[in-house]
Structures are given as C-alpha cells and as structure tokens.
C-alpha cells in the first residue's frame, strides 16, 4: 500500500528573494517573488554549471519581473549563458526568457509555443466565470499562457542538450500542459521536473489541453528511470522520488476508481459526480474538484472507457462503455 500523497508533501521556509542559493555542486536556485496558491513561494529559476566562470544554462527564467531578471543576470555575471531551457509556457515560467535572451544571446529550448487548446480553454473558463458572476481569475492562476514565447530550438522527447560540463536529456511530459518538458541532468542524476512533479502540491491538469492519461503515463515512466533527485520549479527538492511518484499515481488511480464506481450505478455529470465523491469536502473547493473530475472523465473517454453526450465538454452526461 502506498503512503497517501498528503503525508509525503514537502514544505520549506520562504526564500530570501533576490538571493541565489547553491543547492548542489552544479546547480544554483533563485526564487522569484511571485508567491501564490499556485506557485508556493514563487518560481524557482535554476542556473546549471560552475558557480563562477565558464558556461551555464538557465532553466525557466520565470515571470516577467524586473527584479528577478536583474538578480538572475547578476548571478551569472562573468559567465556565458549558453542555453535557456523552458519547461512550459505558463506565465510563471517562460515570460522572462525574452529579457534574459536579450542580455545574454543564449539559445532557447522548449517543446513549442503555447498550445491553442490551452488558450481556448482559458477563454472558455473566463467566460463561464463571468456568466456565473464569479471572479474569472480566482481559480485559474496558471491557466493563462505565455503566447509570445517561441523556442529557438524545438526539442522532442529524448533529445540531448549538451553544454560545457553539463548534459541534459529532454523528457516530453504532457499532462499539466501539452508542451511540458522535464530536463534530466546526467552529471547529477537530477530531474528538473517543472510542474510535472512538485514536492509541495499535486499538479493541476487543466483539461482538455491538460491530459490526465498522458500525465499518468508520464509518471509511470519516471518509475523506470534512475534520477535520484527531483528539482521542481516550485518548492523543495524531492530526494526520494520513487515513493513520491508511486503515491501520486495511487492518488489519481483512487480518484478514477471512485468516478468509475459512481458511473457504474448510473450516468453522471461533473456536478453529480462532485456532489457524490466530494460530499465531505468544503463546497468552496467543489469548483476545483469539478476541474479534476473533468480531467478524469476526459481520460476515460479518450481511452474508450466512457462516452459523453452530447459532446465531451464540462456540461456533458457521462456513461461507462
Ligand atoms: Zn504550469
């Protein structure tokens, strides 16, 4: 039996913003001052390479924040930034890339631009929230996207990005967003997990661009790999990744089992399933729960285990096949 994920979640003290921390021989971290309930203490930007001199790579320059960019450029003063690696195009990860590239002339890497489906889904969520008389930004902290970012080099799964003294393998890890990439640093057996696996929280899967079946496949694949440390964008490092990933998988599997059990008695809508499964949970959280149930239903539909009428959208009625 896997330990419940809630018992494995990690915390850390807020950082001193603007201060770069050496977290391993090759890795420094600088946290941007954009704390929120989606970003924890803020975006952790990583600098990979020697502490002084030589070449370095930067992973996720972060939000468009002048103080953060200034501190980042200050940290790499006297070094050559050869690569900027982007995990994905949410607004807390990629927007500062333009300023850092302008200052360093580094080459940018990422899976590709912000996905169209994510743009449409974000607009749709805002429309529904306004219709319902709610604050459109209240539960959509990461839903907007950085539609300006286009990587110089579009990477695909298993691509290698090599620098002077560091080597990354790219892992395409859709789920949180379809253009998500994790970067594995061979020299330190470390996986930079972006928002795919985070120590402080489970990951939001905003359907339909976010895909729970892809996400779970991506998690299962991590169990076949040999990295010993995960460094997520938000929150502390995960130094025992295997039990952590197994619990994440078990957590989602348990939720899917609950949905399948509920649908086995009668067809359901998101609203009826949330009312069933989350009866004991504060109603304020039901909207977020609905988003999670929707991701599960779409995963069931995409893998042929459920059908939706009339269309697989948030208003549909779902039936097991
Ligand atoms: Zn994100």
Ligand 1 centroid – CA 88 distance (Å)? 7
Query: What pLDDT, on the 0 to 100 scale, is given for residue 233?
Result: 98
135-144, 169-178, 229-238, 243-252, range with the lowest pLDDT: 135-144
CB atoms within 10 A of CB 244: 23
For the whole model, what pTM was predicted? 0.93
Give me the pLDDT at residue 321, please: 94
pLDDT of residue 140: 46
Backbone angles phi and psi of 230, in degrees to 5: -110, 135
Alpha-carbon torsion, ordered 296, 86, 91, 252, to 10 deg: 20
CA distances from 261 to 256, 292, 319 (A): 9, 16, 11
Quick one: pLDDT at residue 38?
A: 87
Residues 312 and 298: beta-carbon distance below 8 Å: yes
**Cα-to-centroid distance, 170 and ligand 1 (Å):** 17
- Strand residues in the chain grouped as ranges (E): 21-24, 27-31, 44-48, 55-59, 80-85, 107-110, 153-154, 160-162, 167-172, 181-185, 190-194, 229-232, 306-309, 317-320
DSSP SS3 for 225 = coil
Tokens of 287: 């909207």
* C-alpha dist (Å) from residue 157 to 190, 248, 311: 17, 22, 32
pLDDT in tens, 258-274: 999 999 999 999 999 99
If you measure from the C-alpha of residue 87 to the centroid of ligand 1, how many angstroms do you get, rounded to a whole number?
9
Please tell me the distance between residue 320's alpha carbon and the centre of ligand 1 in angstroms. Answer: 31
Gap from CA of 99 to ligand 1 centroid (Å): 20
Mean pLDDT, all residues of the chain:
93
Is residue 80 scored above 60 in pLDDT?
yes
CA of 116 relative to ligand 1 center, distance in Å = 15
Q: How far is the CA of 193 from the centre of ligand 1 (A)?
A: 11
- Please, what CATH class does the domain formed by 5-251 belong to? alpha beta
Distance CA 235, CA 43 (A): 8
Residue 99 has pLDDT above 50, yes or no: yes
Evaluate the CA torsion angle 264, 128, 196, 88 in order and state its sign.
positive
From ligand 1's centre to the CA of 264, what distance in Å?
33
CA of 310 relative to ligand 1 center, distance in Å: 30
Q: How far is the CA of 121 from the centre of ligand 1 (A)?
A: 15
CA of 298 to the centre of ligand 1 (A): 20
Nearest Cα to Cα of residue 9 among 292, 203, 207: 203
Burial class (CB in 10 A: 0-12, 13-18, 19+), 141: middle
Residue 201 Cα to ligand 1 midpoint, Å, equals 12
Condensed to tens digits (0 to 9), the pLDDT of residues 177-215 reads 999 999 999 999 999 999 999 999 999 898 889 899 999
> From ligand 1's centre to the CA of 245, what distance in Å?
18
d(CA 107, CA 104): 9
Does pLDDT of 173 surpass 50? yes
The CATH number, out of the four listed (1.25.10.10, 3.40.710.10, 3.40.50.10900, 1.10.10.10), of the domain defined by the range 266-320: 1.10.10.10
pLDDT tens per residue, range 13-28: 999 999 999 999 999 9
Count CB atoms within 10 A of the CB of residue 180.
28
Q: How far is the CA of 195 from the centre of ligand 1 (A)?
A: 5
Q: Where in the chain is the domain with CATH 1.10.10.10?
A: 266-320
pLDDT at 246 over 90: yes
| Predicted local confidence at residue 1, as pLDDT | 61
Ligand 1 centroid from CA 232, angstroms: 11
Average pLDDT over residues 291-297: 93
Choose among 86, 103, 193, 204: nearest CA to 148: 86
Buried b / exposed e over 105-117, threshold 16 CB at 10 Å, is ebbbbbbbbbbeb
Taking the centre of ligand 1 as the mean of its atom positions, its distance from the CA of residue 43, in whole angstroms, is 10
Least confident among 177-191, 226-240, 277-291, 307-321: 277-291
Q: Does residue 37 have a pLDDT over 90?
A: no
Task: Considering the chain, tell me which residue range(s) the CATH 3.60.15.10 domain(s) occupy.
Answer: 5-251
| Most confident option among 97-101, 277-281, 300-304 | 97-101
Instruction: Please provide residue 3's backbone torsions phi and psi, each rounded to the nearest 5 degrees.
Output: -70, 135
Residue 138 has a pLDDT of 53
Q: What is the band of 164 on the pLDDT scale with cuts at 50, 70, 90? A: very high
Contacts for 254 with CB less than 8 Å, ≥ 6 apart = none
pLDDT digits (tens, 9 = 90+) for 50-71: 999 999 999 999 999 999 999 9
Q: What secondary structure, in 3-state letters, does 232-282 show? A: ECCCCCECCHHHHHHHHHHHHHHHHHHHHHHHHHCCECHHHHHHHHCCCCC
What is the rounded distance in angstroms from the CA atom of residue 105 to the CA atom of residue 154? 17
Distance 90 CA to ligand 1 centre (A): 5
pLDDT digits (tens, 9 = 90+) for 122-156: 888 788 878 888 777 654 455 579 999 999 999 99
- Give me ligand 1 centre to Cα 176, in Å: 7
């Amino acid at each position: 039996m896997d330990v419940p994920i809630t018992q494995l979640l990690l915390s850390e003290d807020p950082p001193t913003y603007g201060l770069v921390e050496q977290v391993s021989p090759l890795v420094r971290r600088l946290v941007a001052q954009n704390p929120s309930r989606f970003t924890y203490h803020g975006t952790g930007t990583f600098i990979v390479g020697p502490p002084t001199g030589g070449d370095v790579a930067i992973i996720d320059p972060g939000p468009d924040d002048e103080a953060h960019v200034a501190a980042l450029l200050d940290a790499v003063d006297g070094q050559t930034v050869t690569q900027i690696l982007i995990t994905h195009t949410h607004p807390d990860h990629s927007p500062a890339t333009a300023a850092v590239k302008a200052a360093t002339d580094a080459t940018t890497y990422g899976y590709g631009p912000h996905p169209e489906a994510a743009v449409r889904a974000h607009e749709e969520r805002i429309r529904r929230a306004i219709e319902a008389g709610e604050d459109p930004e209240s539960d959509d902290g990461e839903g907007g996207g950085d539609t300006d970012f286009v990587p110089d080099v579009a990477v695909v799964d298993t691509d290698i990005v090599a620098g002077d003294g560091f080597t990354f393998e790219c892992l395409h890890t859709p789920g949180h967003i379809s253009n998500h990439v994790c970067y594995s640093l061979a020299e330190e057996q470390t996986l930079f997990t972006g928002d795919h696996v985070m120590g402080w929280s489970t990951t939001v899967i905003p359907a339909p661009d976010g895909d729970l079946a892809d996400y779970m496949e991506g998690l299962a694949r991590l169990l076949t790999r040999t990295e010993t440390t995960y460094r997520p964008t938000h929150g502390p490092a995960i130094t025992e990744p295997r039990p952590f990933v197994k619990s994440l998988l078990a957590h989602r599997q348990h939720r899917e089992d609950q949905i399948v059990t509920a649908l086995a008695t009668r067809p359901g809508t998101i609203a009826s399933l949330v009312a069933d499964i989350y009866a004991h949970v504060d109603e304020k959280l039901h909207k977020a729960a609905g988003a999670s149930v929707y991701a599960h239903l779409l995963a069931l539909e995409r893998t042929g285990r459920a059908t939706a009428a009339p269309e697989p959208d948030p208003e549909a009625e779902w039936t097991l096949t």
